[in-house]
Structure 1
Amino acid sequence: MLSNVVDISVSCARSRLADVIDHARVHHVPVFLTRRGRRVAAVIDAEDLERITQAAEDLEDIKAVEVARAEVAEHGTIHWDEVKADLGLA
């Protein structure tokens, strides 16, 4: 087993793929794959990746809300009737 190793060469990982995957899943830490000593990829538990992706999307949403609030603070709001008229819905 890989114990606490988090960096492993691509060639070594190729021959120990099941161990690499198990390490990432059991310990919930990425296993970085290296080539010539440089990190080139990572193996990460799928559920961990989903949580990270969801957190990134949540942060993007929060940032969009902050931008929208700043725009409202600077320019005010538009009355709904005006929006409908602009869209040809009134």
Structure 2
Amino acid sequence: MSKYSSGKIRENFSELLNQVAYGKERVVVTRRGKQVAALIPMDDLALLEKMENKTDIDDARKGIADAKKQGAVSWDSIKKERRHK
């Protein structure tokens, strides 16, 4: 994985974009020495999104199971409780 300052990214954007898109390289963008962003191949992004979707589905299933186990709270009771704080 390569690291480049934002200035170097600007100067060499086309070349770096080709390295990412066709060479499947990951590029970390730095600003004032701190890592602030990354350029990644589309396949990596697709995998990341699949992992996030699976996590969201797992969290939703856990929430549903918890609600069934503990009982759901009505929206009206939540609003009423918030007004009294």
Q: After TM superposition, is the score higher than 0.5?
A: yes
Deviation, 1:42, is 1.4
Return 5+ residue gaps in structure 1 as ranges. Answer: 77-90
Partner residue of 1:44?
A: 40
Label 1:60 to 1:29 Cα distance change in 2 as closer, same or farther (>3 A).
Answer: farther
Runs of 4+ aligned structure 1 residues displaced above 4 Å come to: none
Cα RMSD for the two superposed structures: 2.2
TM-score between the two structures when normalised by the length of structure 2: 0.67
TM-score between the two structures when normalised by the length of structure 1: 0.64
Q: How many residues matched?
A: 72
* Larger-gyration structure (1/2): 1
- Name which of structure 1's ranges 39-48 and 67-76 shifts more when overlaid on structure 2: 67-76
Q: Percent identity?
A: 19
2:54 to 48, 53, 58: 58
Distance, in Å, in 2 between the alignment partners of 1:60 and 1:29 is 28
Assess if the C-alpha contact under 8 Å between 1:31 and 1:42 holds in 2: yes
- Name which of structure 1's ranges 52-61 and 18-27 shifts more when overlaid on structure 2: 18-27
Return 5+ residue gaps in structure 2 as ranges. Answer: 73-85
